[in-house]
Structure 1
């Protein structure tokens, strides 16, 4: 008669349970693997065909996702019921791709111009994303320059660019303007930045009573870039050691019908006068005044705190200092024509500015013409022409230095 060993029986039961446990795990893993499938591919840039790293790929309707590697490649396990992948990246258009029955999905992404960083002009024909620059820069648009009605765009820059100091050589109409970026760097030399108009250095000598900057019509300016970093001098040499102010004039646009614009602005200037009592003369209430209140031995003042009417006093007729001033008036008229085709673009403008100063008969008049044309003869040959004419007539007082 055989006798069963209870210990061996327990061991057999334990091993049987272990095997069943592993069998369940393997079956579950196999079922999970059967519910997903791998999808791989490459994300490239539409501009140059290079791989785009850091693109987020997400299974639509889930939280599953991966990012592309440094070469723009990716691999993602997609649930069996999912049919769409979403590709997203900052500065590029979002892409949704149908992946039904596909194991390899390559995607080409395009730049999104609506969310791109600000573009600034660094030299003639060179436009660079602001984040790609290695130096500080600020940009002012045309509408900001013309919002304040001034004779010179330089004075309109006041308060619009950090670190920009603007001062005038005189309070007269058409006076010179001095611009300094980030403070003076020389005691004897010039501290003014270099002015560049459409890629050409511009003589903005403000050493005299007038300013060369007044030759430029603010209405003809498209944008203005201020390069304040020392590295900006690499573009224009030692002359740009104090910074660069790049002025881009307006130009025509391709595939645009002729458009005529007319703009008129008027403004008035008036000296603020603090009201003063100018009807009655001072009386002789003060003891200190008793030595000079006599004219030809006669007392001209009563013993009160005020005297007779000033207009009734004998003596030399005088003119009040406020009679020198008048209400200033500034009028600006601008007419422009712009248009173009694929082969030629043009922008032509005429501006007339008339400024009567607050001190008569001082004033400032300017007539300016700007013409910007571009002709594309072949895909590799494009000719651009920029012409600017300005005529100024300034009536001012004589100035000098006293020691």
Structure 2
């Protein structure tokens, strides 16, 4: 092998070594130089990663010499490490003060640091609850908490039901267990929602909390001085997303024949069949809204529906006058455009002596079904008085009214609640 060949071989191996995969080692420590076992080390932009051992050490095979490692650990700020020109590194993670100082509301309005709670708990995203308009604020709890299932009926004035790990949880508003269908709770009046899981909630609320609890804390004044806010939201519902597919060439009847009399096969195939005469111009058929003809006097009587049990239930004297045979999309014609219109206001003030917040809400819901709607309104007053440096007095008065002129299941419904705290 001559000199030129030797130089080419060394250059080839140098090229391979520069572009081959390498192993990167390191150690992850906290701010006190203590090892962090179980820290996640992932190659940025890929799913390839490892976890540190009990001593905080890790070893990962790189995809290229320019890979960037993303190091994360619960309660600490994520850190990125460039591997270019390195084979190892010692990584120090700093605490995330915002995460460590987060607090949750437990019982009777008491707040505790989330990291110090010894039982399962989870907060909901209140911003989603405020931004989205829904017929019932309980509908917005769907998918917010692991283990909490929300059943949302589609009918107006039907309340959602909750199942926390297969059991019905206790509902608590501002530290007071309540029975509510959430129609009297305004989304813009909720400060936070916290879910207590497991039997530990029974230690806070007795046997009623053995299945867990949903804790709702309403807003109070949090800005020094006077603050006034007004909001309005309108959501329009066009109806069903998808209608069932049906044939539209033939009407009621069978074998191309149909004549309505009583809807119970008293006529010609006027039972539950949809293969009657074809819809064509000029076709005349006796239908459910056809007038009744008195064959003796020649009188025509306007009529809708069957004649069973009436004086006209006599084919020897009466008959139905044929009317134009036309297609009608009854379901689409029946449904109307629904809407939800909500208006909220609040007046709050805070000073060294205490704070107060007066809020009100009014919601007008019109269902897709004609002549059905729901109106809700309420006023809430909440105050905190600082009696001394170590003693405060909290008070709350809530008035709510729910009115529905014609609900589909129960007819007229009107409820008024006044809850002092």
Higher Cα Rg: structure 1 or 2?
1
Match for residue 164 of structure 1 among 135, 148, 164: 148
Match for residue 248 of structure 1 among 213, 217, 229: 217
Q: Matched residues in 2 for 1:226 and 1:148: separation?
A: 20
SS of residue paired to 2:409: coil
SS of residue paired to 1:56: coil
Cα drift, residue 276 of structure 1:
6.1
Q: Matched residues in 1 for 2:252 and 2:138: separation?
A: 51
> Residue deviations 1:184-225, cap 9 Å, x none?
4xxxxxxx2111111111123xxxxxx2x2111121110000
Over aligned residues, Cα RMSD in angstroms? 3.5
Alignment partner, residue 172 of structure 2: 196
TM-score by length of structure 2 reads 0.57
Q: Matched residues in 2 for 1:166 and 1:341: separation?
A: 40
Q: Matched residues in 2 for 1:252 and 1:332: separation?
A: 22
Q: Matched residues in 1 for 2:205 and 2:348: separation?
A: 31
Q: Matched residues in 2 for 1:162 and 1:277: separation?
A: 40
Q: Matched residues in 1 for 2:399 and 2:123: separation?
A: 25
Residue pair 1:251, 1:372 contacting (<8 A) in 2 also: yes
Alignment partner, residue 330 of structure 1: 340
Moved more, 219-228 or 245-254: 245-254
SS of residue paired to 1:359: coil
Match for residue 120 of structure 1 among 104, 112, 116: 104
Q: Matched residues in 2 for 1:152 and 1:234: separation?
A: 30
Is 1:373 the counterpart of 2:383? The answer is yes
Residue pair 2:227, 2:347 contacting (<8 A) in 1 also: yes
1:266-277 alignment, distance < 5 Å: 266-269=234-237, 270-274=239-243
Q: Matched residues in 2 for 1:240 and 1:321: separation?
A: 45
Number of corresponding residues: 274
Alignment partner, residue 154 of structure 1: 138
Residue pair 1:120, 1:139 contacting (<8 A) in 2 also: yes
Match for residue 287 of structure 2 among 315, 318, 323: 315
- Pair 326,278 (structure 1): closer, same or farther in 2 beyond 3 Å: farther
- Pair 112,372 (structure 1): closer, same or farther in 2 beyond 3 Å: farther
- Pair 143,311 (structure 1): closer, same or farther in 2 beyond 3 Å: farther
Alignment partner, residue 180 of structure 1: 163
1:273-292 alignment, distance < 5 Å: 273-274=242-243, 280-281=249-250, 289=255, 292=257
Alignment partner, residue 228 of structure 2: 260
Q: Matched residues in 2 for 1:220 and 1:194: separation?
A: 20
Is 1:383 the counterpart of 2:366? The answer is no
SS of residue paired to 1:161: coil
TM-score by length of structure 1 reads 0.60
Is 1:143 the counterpart of 2:127? The answer is yes
Q: Matched residues in 1 for 2:281 and 2:245: separation?
A: 15
1:56-71 alignment, distance < 5 Å: 56=32
Moved more, 269-278 or 367-376: 269-278
- Pair 177,274 (structure 1): closer, same or farther in 2 beyond 3 Å: closer
Cα drift, residue 158 of structure 1:
0.7
Alignment partner, residue 228 of structure 1: 197
Q: Matched residues in 2 for 1:194 and 1:351: separation?
A: 25
Residue pair 1:376, 1:383 contacting (<8 A) in 2 also: yes
Alignment partner, residue 91 of structure 2: none
SS of residue paired to 1:308: coil
Q: Matched residues in 1 for 2:260 and 2:388: separation?
A: 91
Alignment partner, residue 9 of structure 2: none
